[in-house]
Structure 1
Amino acid sequence: MFKLKIDDDLYLKKLEPIDAPSVYMQIQQSKDDLRNWLYWVDGTKKLEDTEAFIEDCMKQAAANNGFQAGIWQQNQFAGIIGLHYINWINRTTSLGYWLGKSFQGNGMMTKACQGLIDMLFNEYELNRIEIRAATKNFKSQAIPERLGFTKEGCLRQCEWLHDHYADHFVYGLLKEEYDARSK
């Protein structure tokens, strides 16, 4: 079982079926906030939808193509951080994340990303990590900017969000940049 301790109160743990009620509840409590940036929120209408999502996450992890981890603060589910995929040939991945509304604004996601990035570069031996954030999602953009990612460009109209297309900024961090910063 994957569990990554970030600090005394914060850890990441791969999602498993027992987590479904906590994940579902956090999505429902934060639905109005999350749906601004995440298209799938409206499709999460019942617990079974979250159970199916976690089943897909377990298949992704079993295929060694990334994983989704719950973010837990003081043993309370706060959100999700995960890898959309792992390209093992090119040693690259893309991070995605979200936090429940009541957990936002205290640096938790920055800490979670930092811990995961360290693991991805040092244990998984990846070379590049990418984060995409909607151009109007300033909170999400602040995380890669705080962590030393380079803003590489803008993908125009790359995501359909309910009734409009959204542009995304693409941020990248290379292992050599991470190592130079860590010295």
Structure 2
Amino acid sequence: MDPVREACLAGYSRALRELISWLENATSSELQRKSNGTRWTNEELLFHMVFGYMIVRSLLPLVRIMSRLPRSWGRRFAAGLNAAAGPFDVVNYWGSRMAAAVYNRRRMSRKLEKTITALARRLERESPVTLARSMPFPTRWDPFFTADMTLADVYSYATLHFDFHAKQLSLRPPDSLPESS
């Protein structure tokens, strides 16, 4: 397996272990405490971190389709999405708050495990040619979206997103917690 794929899969596994550790070791009051630098609670932010992996599953077919269309179409599509960044931010915030009630501490790790398993299975079947497919992205939607992203970039995005938000949790870091079973 190539190093990019290996690093991506290793990031997925690490994120799952960290999420499980936080969920198993945090008290209910710690999960309901505000995170650092966001309006979400720790539990809501943990769900938002899981959601980053969920969204990758939706982005993969989009990149496959858009990469086959004229580049100008992709640029217009990305520009339109950038123009809608304000409403997206509102939906992103409230969606994570509401979804955390469904994918709470008891269901969140299972959702991430299923999502990562599906992503890993797909990633292992990708060829170098498909991983190089790219499309323009809306850079105002996320700090890890770049003006042009390959399918490989999209697979890697979720862990970048996870790690960024992990620093905003007001929970003990998973490396300071006892090993999960």
- TM-score scaled by length of structure 2: 0.30
- TM-score scaled by length of structure 1: 0.30
Q: Which has the higher helix share?
A: 2
Q: Which has the larger radius of gyration?
A: 2
Q: Which has the higher strand share?
A: 1
